[in-house]
């Protein structure tokens, strides 16, 4: 088994700030069960790297650095190992950059990992794209955090309905919880890539804005019908 790996995708704009104001941790997808090592040919990892590169320039203008986590194995496998990978990455970011706010940006299984580790002290919120969420996933980890989700109605891998239900549950404890309806888009974020990238960027900036501007918890839940492009 290989060790987890954290790769920076900071833009020149982020570096120009003389110190990161925040960090976005990108969490890639995977499989329900697999002990296969995540290699460079992994489609999930490569898609997440594309996402990281796409969001880095605009987020860098806001002083945010971007980091991509590669898990040790492809599978969720009950969750413990993948959440250990994510907590390792969060601890490393905290050791290197101090108490800067971190936004977890996860696709599919990555969004599931994100909500399980959102109680880490550095985390200010979660952005889930085509998330793999269910009634068994926790919402207490989102207490005092911000949740943003985006899901297409042609997704045949994960469920728009489950995401809607999860966001509604999270609204009871989160500062704010909202779902963006991506309309006729599917799961892999290949079709409509620019829309996914725009929504990801906007959602991260919303989370960072909520982290700095919200003095209390609103518990607001909603569905935004725009597709973002």
The candidate with the shortest Cα–Cα distance to 175, out of 205, 139, 202, is: 139
- pLDDT exceeds 90 at position 229: no
pTM greater than 0.85 (yes/no) = yes
The candidate with the shortest Cα–Cα distance to 175, out of 145, 208, 139, 131, is: 145
**Is 229 within the bounds of a domain?**
no
Q: Which residue range(s) make up the domain with 170?
A: 5-224
- pLDDT exceeds 50 at position 228: no
- pLDDT exceeds 90 at position 33: yes
| Lowest-confidence region among 62-76, 132-146, 171-185, 200-214 | 200-214
The CATH number of the domain holding residue 202 is 3.40.50.1820
- pLDDT exceeds 90 at position 217: no
| Lowest-confidence region among 12-16, 111-115, 202-206 | 12-16
**Is 78 within the bounds of a domain?**
yes
- pLDDT exceeds 50 at position 215: no
| Lowest-confidence region among 6-10, 43-47, 182-186, 207-211 | 207-211
d(CA 109, CA 86): 12
pLDDT digits (tens, 9 = 90+) for 150-179: 999 999 999 999 999 999 999 999 999 999
d(CA 20, CA 64): 6
**Is 163 within the bounds of a domain?**
yes
Question: How many CA atoms are closer than 13 Å to the CA of 105, on its beta-carbon side?
Answer: 37
What is the average pLDDT across 4-24? 89
Instruction: Please report, to the nearest 10 degrees, the dihedral formed by the alpha carbons of residues 14, 18, 23, 24 taken in order.
Output: 10
* Maximum CA extent, the chain: 44
Contact between 37 and 67 under an 8 Å Cβ cutoff? The reply is no
pLDDT of res. 2: 83
pLDDT of res. 117: 98
pLDDT of res. 214: 47
Mean pLDDT across the chain: 92
The candidate with the shortest Cα–Cα distance to 205, out of 62, 101, 98, 104, is: 62
- pLDDT exceeds 60 at position 220: no
What is the average pLDDT across 80-105? 98
- pLDDT exceeds 90 at position 195: yes
pLDDT of res. 223: 65
- The residue with greater pLDDT, 182 or 214, is 182
Contact between 89 and 171 under an 8 Å Cβ cutoff? The reply is no
**Is 14 within the bounds of a domain?**
yes
Total number of domains constituting the chain:
1
pLDDT of res. 211: 56
**Is 106 within the bounds of a domain?**
yes
- pLDDT exceeds 90 at position 199: yes
pLDDT of res. 212: 53
Phi, psi values for residue 137, rounded to 5°: -80, 145
**Is 88 within the bounds of a domain?**
yes
């Amino acid at each position: 088994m290989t060790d987890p790996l954290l790769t920076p995708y900071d833009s020149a704009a982020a570096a120009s700030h003389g110190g990161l104001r925040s960090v976005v941790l990108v969490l890639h997808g995977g499989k329900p069960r697999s002990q296969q090592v995540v290699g460079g040919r992994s489609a999930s990892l490569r898609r997440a790297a594309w996402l990281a590169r796409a969001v880095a320039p605009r987020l860098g203008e806001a002083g945010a650095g971007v980091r991509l986590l590669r898990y040790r194995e492809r599978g969720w496998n009950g969750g413990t190992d993948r959440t250990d990978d994510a907590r390792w990455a969060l601890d490393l970011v905290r050791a290197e950059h101090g108490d800067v706010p971190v936004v977890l940006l996860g696709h599919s299984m990555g969004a599931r990992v994100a909500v399980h580790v959102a109680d880490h002290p550095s985390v200010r919120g979660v952005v889930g794209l085509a998330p793999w969420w269910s009634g068994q996933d926790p919402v207490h980890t989102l207490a005092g955090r911000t949740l943003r989700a985006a899901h297409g109605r042609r997704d045949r891998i994960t469920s728009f309905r489950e995401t809607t239900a999860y966001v509604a549950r999270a609204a009871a404890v989160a500062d704010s919880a909202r779902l963006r309806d991506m309309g006729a888009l599917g799961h892999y974020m290949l079709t409509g890539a620019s829309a996914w990238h725009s929504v990801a960027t906007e959602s991260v900036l919303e989370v960072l804005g909520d982290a700095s501007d919200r003095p209390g918890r609103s518990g607001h839940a909603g569905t935004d019908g725009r597709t973002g492009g």
